[in-house]
Amino acid sequence: MPPLSDAIHYLLHPDELRWILQWQMTYRPLYRRDETRETPNVKKCFAYLEKTSRSFSTLIQELHPELRMPICLFYLIARGLDTIEDDTSIPAKKKELTLRDFHSNLETDGWHFTENRPQEKDRALLLDFDCVIQEFKLQKPVYKDIIRDIIRRMGHAMADYCLRAESDGPGIDTRDDYDEYCYYAAGVVGEGLTDMFLEAKFYRPPPALQDGRRLQVSMGLFLQKTNIIRDIKEDADDGRRFWPRAVWSKYVHDFEDLLDPEHRLAALNCGSEMVLDALEHVPECLSYLTGVQEQSAFNFCAIPQCMAIATLTLCFRNPDVFVRNVKITKSEACRLMMESTRDLQTVCDVFKRYIRVIRRKNASHDPNFLKIITACDKIETFIESNFPLEIAKSIMPKGSCGTNAFGV
C-alpha cells in the first residue's frame, strides 16, 4: 500500500497518476531474463546488480541477451573499482596501487578485496568478487578485452586523481580538468559500451562525422555533469567538490558560499553556467542515438539521456539544489520511460519540451542569460535540421533489429 500522503497527492494531481498507471499497464520489456535457465552464479551477479544500481539494473536486465551479461559484469566491475576509489579510509598508497592493478585481477580465481571500511555501501560486492570473476571468465574474449581495457584506463585515471588530491587537496581546478574528470568517470564507459554495441552490430556510427568518438564521450559526459550539478549539496556534505574552481570562483569567494543562503543569487547564476556547460553536449547525444540500431540498446541509451535533460531542467535556477537533493517525480520518470522507449522522434520531442522549460526559467539578470538562449537555439535548430518530421515518421518498429529510424 502506498502511504496515505501519496494517495492524497495523486487525488489532487490525477494527471500524475495517469503516467504511473499507463506505464504499469502498458510497458512490456522486449527481453526478460529467464531465471529457470540461469546458473546460481549468474543469479548472484544479477542480485548484486540490483543491490548496487538504482538506475541501471532494470535497463541492463532488459537488454538483448547478447549483451545483457557482458554489460552487467561491466557495471559490477566498474562499481567495484569505484568502491575502492570512494573509500577515504584506504591509505593513499594502497589505494593507488589497488586501482592501477584492478584490471589484472579480473580472471584471478578467488580474488577479492577486504579492506573497505564497514560503512562502504557496496563493500559486500568486493568481498564476494569471485562470483564476478567466474562469470567474467565465461564471456567472449572480445567483450572481456573491451571491459579490461576500460577498467585499466579508469583505474589509472582514478589513481592519478587520488595522488593529486593528496598533494593539492580535493576539488577540480579548470574546466579542462572538469571535462577530463567526467571523461574518466563516465566518458570512457560510453566508449566501452559503444565498442560492445559495435561488436554486437547494435550500433553504426552516423556517417559524415569528423570524430565519431566525440559522440559516445558526450553521452557519458552529459549524464555525469547532470549528476554533478544535482548532487552539489550531498557531495559537499561528504567533503567532495566537483564544480570546477574556474567556474564557481567567478560567483563566490569560497566554494562553501554556494551553499550559504546569503549567496543564493550568486549560487543560482553559477548553477546556470554549469547547466549551460552540460547543455552543450546535447546535440552530440542526439546524434549518437541516430546510430543505435537495436531497440533494447536504444532504450538503454535513450532512457538515461531523457532522465538527464529532465533533471538538468529541474536543477536550472532552482534554489533547492543548494539545500537538498532534488529529484524528478515518479510520474515524470514513468512518462519519460514511456516516451524514450518509443523512437528517436519522441526522444527529440522530449528534449524540445524541456528546452522550452529552460527558456521559461531563464532570467534576464543572470550573466549567462544570452548564452543559455544560444544553447537552446542550437539544440532546437539541430533537432529541426537533422530530424525533419517526414523522415522521422519512418520510425523503427518496436523489436526491430538491424534497421535504423533514419536509414543511416
Provide the binding-site residues for Mg ion, judged by CB under 5 A.
82, 85-86
Write down the least CB distance from residue 86 to Mg ion, Å: 4
82 versus 280: smaller Cβ distance to Mg ion: 82
- Integer-rounded Cα radius of gyration of the chain: 22
**Is 300 tagged catalytic?**
yes
Residue closer to Mg ion (CB basis): 32 or 94 = 94
Catalytic residue among 202, 300, 322, 351: 300
Give 62 or 85: the residue with its C-beta nearer to Mg ion: 85
Question: What CA–CA distance (Å, rounded) separates 190 from 222?
Answer: 11
By the 8 A CB rule, do 180 and 217 touch?
A: no
Torsion sign (Cα): 362, 366, 371, 375: negative
SS3 292: strand
DSSP3 helix / strand / coil % (the chain, rounded to 5): 70, 0, 30
- Dist CA 374 CA 294 (whole Å): 33
Closest contact distance (angstroms) between CB of 52 and Mg ion is 13
> What is the distance between the alpha carbons of residues 121 and 128, in angstroms, rounded to a whole number?
14
Least spacing, CB of residue 185 vs Mg ion, in Å: 7
- Which of 10, 46, 102, 181 is flagged as catalytic? 181
Active site residue 79: no
For the question of residue 153 being annotated catalytic, the response is no
Residues forming a β-bridge with 294:
401
Catalytic residue among 123, 152, 204, 240: 240
Query: Of residues 68, 148, 230, 342, which has the active-site annotation?
Result: 230
Active site annotation includes 181 = yes
Strand partners, 401: 294
Select 61 or 88, whichever has its Cβ closest to Mg ion.
Answer: 88
Contact by Cβ (8 Å): 34, 62: no
* Cβ–Cβ < 8 Å for 392, 350: no
Is the CB of 85 or the CB of 366 nearer to Mg ion?
Answer: 85
190 contact partners, CB below 8 Å, separation of at least 6 = 216, 217, 218, 219, 220, 221
Nearer to Mg ion, 80 or 304 (CB): 80
Q: Closest separation between CB of residue 26 and Mg ion, Å?
A: 37
- Rounded to a whole number of angstroms, the minimum distance from the CB of residue 84 to Mg ion is 9
How near is the Cβ of 400 to Mg ion at its closest, in Å? 37
For residues 396 and 404, the answer to whether their CB atoms sit within 8 Å is: yes
Any idea which residues carry the catalytic annotation? 181, 230, 240, 300
